[in-house]
Structure 1
Amino acid sequence: MKALKGMNYPASKQDLVQKAKQNNASQDVIQTIEKLPQDQFNSPTDVQKAWGQGRK
């Protein structure tokens, strides 16, 4: 995901939001990250799984 390029894991939801803002992600992407159903992510795969659940 381009918005999280360069993200180090494990990461908190706040870490993801900060990285997305640094990468100039759209407000829609940032809001979706803020709504993800978990607060801690161990890998990009964890983010992708949560993203899929959060977009339903």
Structure 2
Amino acid sequence: MSRGAQTFKQGDVTKALKGAVKAGLSVQRVEIDTDGKIILITGEMLPSAATGNEWDNVRR
């Protein structure tokens, strides 16, 4: 019995997780919907992203 077409790949989940972490989110759980939609359940902001950096206040 075959599994059928895969709606997502491991690389897709990895990209979603890395993007969320880079944005400063703390990922608590990952869910995959029956349609293949990747859902990230997040928690509190990570301290490093919440404080920002010195370039956030630079004016043009």
Instruction: Tell me the TM-score range normalised by the shorter chain.
Output: 0.3 to 0.5
Higher strand share: 2
Structure exhibiting the larger radius of gyration computed from Cα positions: 2
Normalising by structure 2, what TM-score? 0.33
Higher helix share: 1
Normalising by structure 1, what TM-score? 0.35
